[in-house]
Amino acid sequence: MKFFIDTANLAQIKEAHDLGVLDGVTTNPSLMAKEGIKGEANILKHYADICELVDGPISAEVLSTDFKSMVEEGKKLAAIHPNIVVKVPMIKDGVKALKYFTDNGIKTNCTLVFSAGQAILAAKAGATFVSPFIGRIDDSSWDGVELIAQIAQIYSIQGFKTEILAASIRNALHIVKCAEAGADICTCPLDSILGLLKHPLTDIGLAKFLEDAKKM
Ligand code: G3P
C-alpha cells in the first residue's frame, strides 16, 4: 500500500518525505485555504512547489462544477507538472470530465466518494484514483473501512484498474484497517502516519536496552 500525505502544508510534506515512506500528496480547497493560499497564480505556484518536494502523484482539485470549466481548469492544472493528478468531484459533470481527461491522457482522482455505486461510476469513467472519504462516513455512523473492502472486492471481480485511495483518514488504526481491506493507497494527515510509530513497549524496550548498553 502506498502512502500519500493529505495536506498543503509544505513543512509537513517535507517531514513525511524525509521519513522516506511518502509516495504522493493530496490537497483539497479546504487544505489550501488553511495554508492561506489565495489567487490563481499563488495556487498554481503552490502546486508547483509541492511537485518540487515530492516525486509522485500530486492531486490538485478543480474548483468549478460544470464540464466545460472543469476541463479548462484541469488542463491548466495538468500543465503545471507531469505528476499533477486532476481531482474532480463525484457529480454528473465530474464524471463527464473524468472521461474527457482519461481520453486525453490526464490522470484523475475522483473525490467525495461515499458509496460503492459512485466508485463503480468513477472506474467506468477511467479515473486513475477513487477517493472514498472513510472518516466522514464513520462520522455519520456508517463504516468507512467496510466501504473500502466492498470497493476492493468489486474492482477485483470486475477487473477495474482504478486505484483505491482511502481518504479522510483520521488515525493510525484507519491506515491499518484500510491496508487490511485492500486499499491501494492511504492519504493521511502527518499525525496519522507518525501514529503508526507508537507503541509503549517499544519505548520501554529501548530505554532498557540503552540502560543495559552502559554496562557493555
Ligand atoms: O482530501 C480529502 C479528505 O482526506 C478530507 O479529510 O478529514 O476533511 O474528512 P477530512
Q: Out of 133, 142, 192, give the residue to mutate to test ligand 1, the one with the largest number of ligand atoms within 8 Å of its CB.
A: 133
Which CATH number do you get for residue 145? Answer: 3.20.20.70
Q: All 3 cell numbers of residue 135? A: 472518516
Ligand 1 neighbours (beta carbon < 6 A): 6, 26, 28, 133, 135-136, 167-168, 187
Q: All 3 cell numbers of residue 188? A: 493521511
Task: Provide the whole-model pTM.
Answer: 0.96
Examine the residue annotation and report whether 87 is marked as an active-site residue of this protein: yes
- Please tell me what DSSP assigns to residue 214: T
Length of the chain: 216
DSSP letters for 91-130: SHHHHHHHHHHHHTT--EEEEEE-SHHHHHHHHHTT-SEE
Catalytic residue among 38, 76, 87, 215: 87
- Interatomic CA distance for residues 118 and 10, integer angstroms: 31
The whole-angstrom distance between residue 19's C-alpha and the CA centroid of its chain comes to 18
Separation of CA 205 and ligand 1 centre (Å): 35
Count of the separate structural domains present in the chain: 1
- Interatomic CA distance for residues 69 and 59, integer angstroms: 18
Contact yes or no for 14/196 (Cβ under 8 A): no
**SS3 label, residue 36:** coil
Q: Out of 31, 134, 136, give the residue to mutate to test ligand 1, the one with the largest number of ligand atoms within 8 Å of its CB.
A: 136
Per-residue pLDDT tens listing for the chain (216 residues): 999 999 999 999 999 999 999 999 999 999 999 999 999 999 999 999 999 999 999 999 999 999 999 999 999 999 999 999 999 999 999 999 999 999 999 999 999 999 999 999 999 999 999 999 999 999 999 999 999 999 999 999 999 999 999 999 999 999 999 999 999 999 999 999 999 999 999 999 999 999 999 999
Domain that holds residue 49: 2-214
Give pLDDT, residue 41. 96
> Which atom number of ligand 1 is nearest to the Cα of residue 28?
1
- Interatomic CA distance for residues 50 and 193, integer angstroms: 18
